Structures are given as structure tokens and as C-alpha cells.
Amino acid sequence: MLDRIKSLEPTVFENLVYDLMGSSGFENLVWRTPGADGGRDIEGEALCRDLSGFMHAQTWYIECKRYDGTLSWPLIWEKIAFSEASDTDYLLVVTTSTPSPLAETKISEWNNSRKRPQVRVWRGYELERKIQLVPVLQVKYGLVDDPDLRPDAFWPLAEKSMKAILAAKGSLVVPKLTPLYVEYATALSQLLSRRLEDLSTEGKIVVSGFNKDKDNYDWLDVSGLRNSNTFDSFGIRAIISGLRIWAKEGSPIKVEQVSNNKISISVQFKRDPPDSLLDEMKDVCLWSDLEVCLEGLIVIITSRG
């Protein structure tokens, strides 16, 4: 498996690490686009509870290094310096190789001095072991040839689709909600079908691109959006149709371009967005290489493609 991980393109490797961090319990993950800054590839928070029951968030910077050779100390020190200047709690280096002997010694010395950030390393063999515990990532990134893993990998997405169908049936007493749930269930099913097709024919996810004339909904305002090969149309449609269920009846939903890899969605919610809203989108984001966050009442979607 490690050989296959090493063969991934750099951006795909970063996406793999991003997904692995999410499955490891990290919150508020942000994937930094290539060239955005030289300090880290991913940042996130680990929530920890002390003996008094108080919860606090640790800030982590994650650096992804898909290397064959060992990692030098100057390379790691550069990342430590950036993290230290940013007042980060931990720097995690995720690599397909290992630090050099000098780097291992210097990392130990740095950590023993109790300085921040504390440095952690996932070496190649550790990375492989962690991924072996997450079948969905093995399937998504084509790291194994085991068709028996696919049902488990796709089950969360399929379960969401079935729940939307049941919700549509249950909403028959409120007829105005029925088409919303049917539309959401349809979008989820189309996403699931497309990803299965991608893996069967290409062995990986193939981003379809979003065409605002072909992939738009009648009720969606896309006047501020450009056609883009960056965003997966199946993932975008699943997210937006899901958001519509939470929107006030008849209120407009508008999508606007923020940058090449970021769009904003303006939604008038029935009430303040619940915490479960972003959780509802996690599996869609996983299979679309998308990142969703809330900035006030604006939903921000970022492509990790």
C-alpha cells in the first residue's frame, strides 16, 4: 500500500491526508491551496478534555511530504519556525518516508525543551498503518484491489440517500416538503452512482466540473458563478439541494464566485443553522473533494481538487 501512496500526485496525497485527519477526529480542518502560503498544507483543531471536564482546542498545522528520501532537519526546521511564529500548539509532519537521523535527534531535542509547537511525525509505515484502519480511504484513493471493501466505504452515503427517501415519504403530510427531500435524495443517489462508476472505470474520483447552464436548478441563482472544472457538479448539487431543506420557504438561494476554488452560498435559513448541518455534509464532501464551512449565515464551499 505504501508504494501506491507514494505514486499519488502531490495534491491527491494532500487530500488523502486531509481525509485521514478528518477520520481521526480533527475539527475545523482547512486545506491550504497550493502556493497559498509556505507554512502548512492543512490546519485543524483537536478538542481535548482535562480532568475538570473543561474542553480546549489544540491548534495543529499539518505538513504533507510525499518523499522517497529522508526528510532533512533544515526542511523540518523551516516548518517549525513558521508554526512557532503562528503560535501553533503542534506541528504534524506526515511523510511517506522518515526523517534523517539528524532530524530525528533534533526533533527529540526540540520536544524535550518543551517549546511550542511540539513536533509529531507520521512516518511512512505509520501512515500506512493508519490508512489500513479506514477502508473508505483505501477505496477512494485506489490503495487496494478489494471489491469487498466498497459496500462499507459507500454505506454512509447510501444511508443518507435512504434517509432522504424516507423523509420524503414521511413529509407527505406536509406536501410542500416532499419535492425538496426527493430532490436531495436524487442528488445523493446520483453522487453515489457517479463515484461507483469512477472507481470502476478510472480507479479514482473524476471531478465532473460544474456547468451553471446544465447543472443548475430552476430555483437557484447562479448569475454570480462561472463555469468551472474545479468543483464537482454531483457534490455541489447534493450540498445545495440539502441546504434548500433548511431554507425559508420561497427564499432565494444564491451562489457566487469568491475565487477559482471557492464559492459562497447565501441562504435564508428557517432558524440558526444547527451544528448537525455541517455533519450532514461530511460524507458528500469526502466523495467530492469539497470543504464546507459557515461564515455567519453564508455557506462557503472550497474545492480541494
- Pair 244, 183: CB distance under 8 Å: yes
What is the pTM assigned to this prediction? 0.87
pLDDT at 83 over 60: yes
| pLDDT tens digits, one per residue of 69-81 | 999 999 999 999 9
Can you count the helices (H) and strands (E) in the chain?
A: 10, 10
pLDDT (0 to 100) of residue 13: 94
Of residues 60, 63, 61, 85, the one with CA closest to residue 75: 63
C-alpha cell at 30: 482547512
Amino acid at 179: P
- The DSSP code for 184 is H
Write out pLDDT tens, residues 212-250. 889 999 999 999 988 888 899 999 999 999 999 888 888
**Hey, what amino acid is at 282?**
K
The pLDDT tens digits of the residues spanning 131-186 come to 999 999 999 999 988 888 888 888 888 998 888 888 877 766 667 778 888 999 99
Q: What is the pLDDT of residues 251-305, one digit of tens each?
A: 889 999 998 889 999 988 887 766 678 888 889 999 999 999 888 788 999 998 7
